[in-house]
Chain A
Amino acid sequence: MLDEDVLQQTLTRALRDGGDFAEIFVERRSSSSAQLDDGKIEELVSGHASGAGVRVVRGETTGYAHTADLTGEGLRNAAEAAAAAARGNGGGAQVIALTRRHVERTHEVTDAPETTPKARKLEVLARADDAARARGDSIRQVRAAYADGRRRILVANSEGLLAEDDQVRTRFSVQCVAVGDTGMQTGTEAPGRSVGFELFDEIDPEEVARIAADRALTMLSARPAPSGKLPVVLRRGAGAVLFHEACGHGLEADLVGRDASVFRGQVGEQVASPLVTLVDDGRYAREWGTFAIDDEGAPAQRNVLIEDGVLTDYMWDHLRARKEGRPSSGNGRRETYEHLPMVRMTNTFLLSGEGDPDDLIASTPHGLYCTALGGGQVNTATGDFVFGVTEAYLIEDGKVTEPVRAAQLIGNGPETLRLVDAVANDFDTWAGTCGKEGQGVPVSSGQPTLRVAELTVGGTAG
């Protein structure tokens, strides 16, 4: 993407006045999206962005500057600004000659977004619209959206690293509004993968539309959700964000380092039920949070965070790992070149157990069965987290019965991990956008059907 001499010169300029580490991150992004709403192809949007960020670390301080000007002069200015901003006490590191690092891709993209005709992207929207409306007259609004993005990145640093990646993602979403005697309800389904248009070889737009429409229709007959503590069964894929919030964030080394995590100092300790094995796997082929290298040039890898309930490791970025004299775990990510990297999750999975999902429900006399969720949020310093359930049913006498309206679940991370008392042998994933300090990055969560012995359900029914 850029001449190696220019990269080397930029790094040298960045460290001219001292510093321990310098890095340049170059990014070229293009995206296209289309939306069919209200029965009309409403909007096609194309976008392009490119730029670079230069980071200089001196002692405890990081200076950062970014620019959309990728000329030698633009990069030199950014290097000077970053060097001026890094004002800690730090040594005089030298720039080591750049060596290209090759990282094997987990999969190849076959139908690149820029070579896929716009008409094909619009056709899947029309199919989804038809399929959703076919679920009945109660479906009053359908919004189908297609979005793809290609992001080429290059990372070079003063330790001699030079690495590049080409990341493609495609997402398809359908939101339906159903209207009935009880008012209006919504249903959404939004699968995404790190692939091009071949996404539609594995997902069927009609099926996505049907799921979204039926979810909205089901909620029309839902009664108020219960209020108070209940056993909660999470269907495969539908509850993984619980673990993303309950412990994922708390295992990010930057938060641990700031003493802002309840999991600080607990490596080697039993922090969860023995049924819990949690991994963060940036190399799970085709998944939404997958990449070859992270935004600091480290190869993505599969990291075991909790094994049979025992905390094995945190997730690391370059800066935090460097301080501890250990390698990065490939979790240094940033939203764009305009942002500093920090520790982020990729694809965070709770691994499958041995039980049968139907038996798991049958052995639950009374509880809540969650089959779709919204997002969540956690305060890592206290461990308290929430997540929104958008489709759920009561379990009565071991059987799934009536639907209940959307509600928030609330719990405490360490307590909830200990309360996982059944894990089935199925598995599914869910694509989402994780926000941290104002930066959003694509992540996936995955989990088998499982049960938490007790969570607080935030409904209105006594």
Chain B
Amino acid sequence: MADLLGLVVDLAERAAPGEELEAYASHTRETDVKVFDGEVESLTVAERAGVGVRVVIEGRQGFAWAATLEPEIIDAALADARDNARFATPDEWHGLVTAEEARSNDAVTLDLWSEELARTTTDAKVAFALELEAATRAADPRVRGVEYASYGDGLTELAVASSHGVQAASQRTTAGCVVIAMAGEDAQTQTGYGLSAGRAFSDLDPAKAAADAATRSTRLLGATQPPSRRLPVVFDPLVTASLLGVLGAALSGEAIVKGRSIFVGREGESVAAPCVTLQDDPTNADAHGATMHDAEGVASRRNDLIVEGVLRGFLHNTYTGRRSNTGTNGAAVRSFASTPGCGARAISLSPGTRSPEDLMTGLEEALYVQSVSGLHSGTNPVSGDFSVGAEGLMVRDGAFAEPVREVTIASTLPRILLDIAEVGTDLEWLPGSAAGLTVLVSEMTMSGA
């Protein structure tokens, strides 16, 4: 592979006097297989690479990117970034992180690369995807088809360097599969998905993904729209992970310093039930979003966000950390085509003490939410409004009962956090930046017939 670190270090050394210069580059090799009806529908093999160049001159920031590693185009990006900086408003908090700030006492070394995945043949990946689809069809006679079955992986190298002497490089692998089963006939169709993810090819469990998709689609057969009412709600681990994504955005330093979050000005206050402890820990190698350093080259660390219901911290990059007088805590996130934002990479609730089954035992009537829709249009991290589409199962006397569809569940984000009655023990790291766990919320409004 290309010497990415050499490339960004050379670029950073071109800083003019009085200019701060940072270069960030990534290179990814990807394979993606989709199968349909026992045949390979598409097989994509690809490499992608790019560089982002950021300059800060007297508090003015400029940025440009190029989706290539070609020297002339990178030169043009550097010139563009410098020109763009001329037009920005000076901002005292702009500036690159220093090498001292970037280091952390508790920096960890993580091995996030699977040589086994790098060596896996395309044939093996194709066979895997075909097996995933076949296993899903075979899992239950009521599965009439597979809407989508895919395998995908990526081998990624990253490097960042700055004129302040920051240098960081890392590499990681990810592999995953997704399958969506269709159960029932025509108007009775229900769908359900299963997935599996890891760093190595052998981490994937296609049998589990197939069984999950079959179970999740067939158990919704016969679903009807129930009458509206208020009731306790149990979130499936996948739903919880999506919700943590929304909370992570509301806890980003950027949302905080710009006054765009329900958490503005609430540090030190009780914002959630005492059973809620939330952290972002990209140093945990089990998390798919684990990294040794953030997108500005700052050593990753565990950040406590909510501890026993009390708001304790936010996710900062260099800009928001300086503006908040806390300094960065290593939470810069970006692609080569954007300036660093801030956000979660490995966000998780701390597990409770009871399994999902035990957690539901005492529930006379509740809604188990298997999946939600419209999460982006239905949640607002500024106003806190929360209203999303849902499907799942009623829980009666502690056990799954009839399936329901075409309902919405609504509350507000602050209310949901305070209404969390219990967190399960079933922590599972999911693809992306969050962990799943079963969560019981004591009351939400379900809208239906």
Contact = CB atoms under 8 A, between A and B. Distances in A.
Given A338-B48, A405-B383, A457-B447, A375 B84 contact: no
Size category of the A interface is 35 or more
Interface string B126-140: 100000000000000
A186 to B, nearest CB: 5
B65 interface: yes
Contact of A408 (B89, B374, B384): B374
Interface string B39-57: 1111111111110000000
B376 A374 contact: yes
A301 interface: no
Interface in A339-373: 340, 373
- State the majority secondary structure of interface residues on A: strand
Contact of B42 (A43, A62, A406): A62
Interface in B66-82: 66-68, 73, 76-77, 80-81
B351 interface: no
Nearest to B63: A45
Given A61-B41, A375-B376, A381 B182 contact: yes
Interface string A438-462: 0000000000000000001111101
Contacts of A373: 377
A121 to B, nearest CB: 9
B62 interface: yes
Contact of B388 (A65, A408, A411): A408
Interface in B23-50: 36-37, 39-50
A207 interface: no
A375 B235 CA distance: 23
Contacts, number: 263
A381 B147 CA distance: 8
Given A44-B62, A47-B64, A381 B191 contact: yes
Contacts of B87: 34, 41, 44, 118-119, 122
Contact of A410 (B84, B126, B182, B407): B407
B312 interface: no
B382 A47 contact: no
A140 interface: yes
B449 A185 contact: no
Interface in A18-49: 34, 37-49
Contacts of B228: 227-228, 462
A379 B259 CA distance: 35
A88 B387 contact: no
Interface string A281-303: 00000000000000000000000
B45 A85 contact: yes
Contacts of B48: 66, 68, 338
Size category of the B interface is 35 or more
B94 to A, nearest CB: 9
B345 interface: no
Interface stretch (A5-13, A92-100, A382-390, A421-429): A382-390
B91 A45 contact: no
B122 to A, nearest CB: 7
B373 interface: yes
Contacts of A66: 44, 46, 48
Given A85-B122, A258-B147, A458 B389 contact: yes
Interface string A72-88: 00000000010001111
A63 B186 CA distance: 32
Interface string A216-227: 000100000101
A388 B337 CA distance: 29
A376 B387 contact: no
A381 B405 CA distance: 13
Interface in B254-268: 258-260, 262
B67 A68 contact: yes
A63 to B, nearest CB: 5
B190 interface: yes
Interface in A395-439: 405-408, 410-412, 437
A135 to B, nearest CB: 17
A382 B190 contact: yes
A133 interface: no
Contacts of A410: 389, 406-408, 447
Given A48-B67, A85-B45, A227 B445 contact: yes
A259 to B, nearest CB: 5
B77 A384 contact: no
B43 A63 contact: yes
A185 B382 contact: yes
Contacts of A179: 259
A258 B182 CA distance: 11
A4 interface: no
A64 B43 contact: yes
A67 interface: yes
Contacts of A388: 374, 376-378, 387
A382 B260 contact: no
A85 B445 contact: no
B91 A412 contact: no
B339 interface: yes
Nearest to A86: B43
Contacts of A173: none
Contact of B182 (A122, A259, A384): A259
Contacts of A260: 145, 147-148, 182
A459 B377 contact: no
B152 to A, nearest CB: 10
Given A46-B80, A141-B259, A381-B189, A386 B43 contact: no
A228 B227 CA distance: 8
B291 interface: no
Contact of B191 (A81, A382, A390): A382
A47 B66 contact: yes
A152 interface: no
A311 interface: no
Q: Which of B50, B382, B407 has the most CB of A within 10 A?
A: B382
Contact of A459 (B37, B73, B387): B387
Contact of B339 (A38, A45, A185, A411): A45
23 contacts: A43-B88, A45-B338, A50-B67, A60-B37, A62-B41, A64-B42, A64-B45, A85-B122, A88-B40, A177-B260, A185-B382, A228-B449, A258-B147, A259-B144, A384-B405, A387-B374, A405-B385, A406-B380, A406-B385, A408-B410, A456-B408, A458-B389, A460-B411
Given A49-B67, A382-B190, A459-B447, 4 more contacts: A46-B63, A47-B66, A184-B260, A456-B225
